[in-house]
Amino acid sequence: MQIAKVIGTVVSSYKLPAMQGIKLSLVQFVNEEGQLIPRYEVAADSAVGAGVEEWVLISQRAIAPDPGGKDQRPIDAMVVAIIDTVTLGNRTLYSKKDEYR
Amino acid sequence: MQIAKVIGTVVSSYKLPAMQGIKLSLVQFVNEEGQLIPRYEVAADSAVGAGVEEWVLISQRAIAPDPGGKDQRPIDAMVVAIIDTVTLGNRTLYSKKDEYR
Amino acid sequence: MQIAKVIGTVVSSYKLPAMQGIKLSLVQFVNEEGQLIPRYEVAADSAVGAGVEEWVLISQRAIAPDPGGKDQRPIDAMVVAIIDTVTLGNRTLYSKKDEYR
Amino acid sequence: MQIAKVIGTVVSSYKLPAMQGIKLSLVQFVNEEGQLIPRYEVAADSAVGAGVEEWVLISQRAIAPDPGGKDQRPIDAMVVAIIDTVTLGNRTLYSKKDEYR
Amino acid sequence: MQIAKVIGTVVSSYKLPAMQGIKLSLVQFVNEEGQLIPRYEVAADSAVGAGVEEWVLISQRAIAPDPGGKDQRPIDAMVVAIIDTVTLGNRTLYSKKDEYR
């Protein structure tokens, strides 16, 4: 998975039926030093509900689980977790608590 | 998913049976600042019907749903939605309404 | 899918049983301006039969359909179509007819 | 698979149910000369239990086996082994024994 | 698939059960001009048995067939063939016979 920061939202009214009811977040990737890099994903956030500025974990796994249905959704990136902390050895690279204080 | 702009069409008369009846759109990717980048996909657009100049959402999910049939289609990129708006924080990066006015 | 030009052939006599009977074409990728780029694939061409110099459509879909058998083939790139034309707006980027005239 | 060095940990309390109980390691990739490169993964380490500084093998396979359950986990990178030695021809690029002596 | 040269071996004694009994070869990728490039894979070689210096075909297909068992193996790169010749138009880029003479 990759670490990313939620930076925006994508809205679409005309889409495949299998894409209905999915919140689409624009997330920008963060490198191993905690800096934003020029790479993004429009990631489905069907259950986590991450807000703008939060650091999240993005999975680009090929097969997205479809909680309610029988059809597989054509989703190639998902928000799978909101990150609390990223620790490198003894150093804290990111702490959600610090960010929001 | 990635944001892309429809820039053209690819036509093929000689292809695998599983590729029959699929409209192939040439889409160029857009970065997180809304600029075209030198990366493209020939994406299947079997249901959305996006036109040239429209911004779309491209899924590069490995398994493409095959609406009518039993065979899996060897498709690795699909147009899954036409984008209405892309919002970064409080700023609107793209709005379809503005583009077509 | 990506647009590529067939530039050669790869032959192997010692391979996995699941790879038997598959023609392997060396294809070099073409960018959105119609120029060859330094990226290639050795793509299975089990049904299309594209020849050297032809422009083809390459799918890097994870699961390749296996026409005859029960085993999934460990193929990660396939020739899925021979391209007739690539059109960008009103401009024809490539036309097979012109190439062979 | 890619060779990587465990450099840290990612902690998340709010995540998809399918992500519960998985240790998330931050691993930085190593090139074919044994040097760290600016590329990382947050990899699930559900069974191997690799510690910081250890060299591991990372699989970015699309479908992660789920030991206990019926749901597929949305994991796109896993620690599949702790590396003992990497040998290039007659030269030992890395040996765990040497590192820990 | 990509063309690669076997350059070494990776040994691991502590690994996932699904990784047992698989020979792990370090292979470095070769470009379309026959030159080594700074990209590698640790590829499973469960059946082909390619030796150091041999040119092989690497599949990065997501789902690896598991000859003996019921579990899917978390393998994302496999040696699927030993290459005899690579031909570009009328020119032979590589011939195994010439290499070993």
Name residue B33's amino acid: E
Q: For residue D85, give the chain E residue with the closest CA.
A: E11
Of the residues D6, D9, D10, the best mutation for testing chain A's interface (the one with the most A CB atoms within 10 Å of its CB) is D10
Contacts of E8 in chain D (CB under 8 A): 86-89, 93
What would the mean pLDDT of E75-98 be, rounded to a whole number? Answer: 93
- Do residues E83 and E94 lie in contact, with contact meaning Cβ atoms separated by under 8 Å? yes
Instruction: Output the average pLDDT for chain C.
Output: 89
> What is the share, in percent, of chain D residues with pLDDT greater than 70?
86
Q: What is the per-residue pLDDT across C1-34, written as a single tens digit (0 to 9) for each?
A: 999 999 999 999 999 988 999 999 999 999 999 9
- What would the mean pLDDT of D50-77 be, rounded to a whole number? 77
Provide, as residue numbers in chain E, all residues whose Cβ is less than 8 Å from the Cβ of D54: none
pLDDT band at E51 (very low <50, low <70, confident <90, very high): very high
Q: pLDDT tens, A38-61?
A: 999 999 998 899 999 999 999 997
pLDDT at A63 over 80: no
Question: Minimal Cα–Cα distance from D14 to chain E, Å?
Answer: 27
pLDDT single digits (tens) D65-79: 554 555 568 889 999
Residue of chain E whose Cα is closest to the Cα of C22: E81
CA angle B72, B78, B80 (to 5 degrees): 115
- Binned at pLDDT 50, 70 and 90, residue A73 comes out as confident
Size of interface D-E (CB pairs under 8 A): 90
Taking CB atoms and an 8 Å limit, are C75 and E31 in contact across chains?
Answer: no
Contact between residue E7 and residue E55 where contact means Cβ atoms under 8 Å apart? no
Is the pLDDT at A64 greater than 60? The verdict is no
Q: What is the mean pLDDT of residues A88-100?
A: 87
How buried is residue A59: exposed, middle or buried, by Cβ count under 10 Å (0-12/13-18/19+)?
buried
Predicted confidence at residue B18, as pLDDT, reads 86
Measured distance CA(E41)–CA(D60) in Å, rounded: 11
Asked if residue E49 has pLDDT above 80, the reply is yes
What is residue D3's predicted lDDT score, i.e. its pLDDT? 98
8-state DSSP, C50: P
What ipTM goes with this model? 0.90
Using alpha carbons, select from C93, C10, C11, C101 the residue that is nearest to residue C55: C93
Longest dimension (CA), chain A: 48
pLDDT of D80: 95
Which of A65-69, E22-26, E42-46 shows the lowest mean pLDDT across its residues? A65-69
Is B74's pLDDT higher than 90? no
Q: Mean pLDDT over residues B57-78, rounded?
A: 72
State the CB neighbour count (10 A cutoff) for residue C3. 23
Q: What percent of chain B has pLDDT over 90?
A: 70
Q: What whole-number percentage of chain E has pLDDT above 90?
A: 70
> In the predicted model, is pLDDT for residue E82 greater than 60?
yes
Task: Choose the weakest-confidence range: A76-90, D60-74, E31-45, E71-85.
Answer: D60-74
pLDDT digits (tens, 9 = 90+) for D26-49: 999 999 999 999 999 999 998 899
| Contact between C84 and B9 using a beta-carbon 8 Å cutoff | no
Instruction: Say which of B1, B60, B65 has its CB closest to residue A72.
Output: B65
Three state DSSP letters for chain E: CEEEEEEEEEECCEECHHHCCCCEEEEEEECCCCCEEEEEEEEECCCCCCCCCCEEEEECCCCECCCCCCCCECCCCEEEEECCEEEECCEEEEEHHHHHC
Mean pLDDT over C67-82 rounds to 78
Would you state the pLDDT for residue E54? 96
pLDDT band at A97, cuts 50/70/90? confident
Closest Cα to residue E79, out of E40, E25, E36, E9?
Answer: E25
Give contacts of E74 with chain D, Cβ < 8 Å: 59, 61, 64-65, 78, 80
Interval B28-66: pLDDT, tens:
999 999 999 999 999 999 889 999 999 999 999 755 555
Q: Given pLDDT bands bounded at 50, 70 and 90, which one contains residue A31?
A: very high
Query: What are the structure tokens assigned to D89, written together?
Result: 């021809």
Tell me the chain A residues in contact with residue D72 when contact means C-beta distances shorter than 8 Å: 63, 65
Could you tell me if residue A66 is left (phi over 0), alpha (psi between -120 and 50 degrees) or otherwise beta? Answer: beta
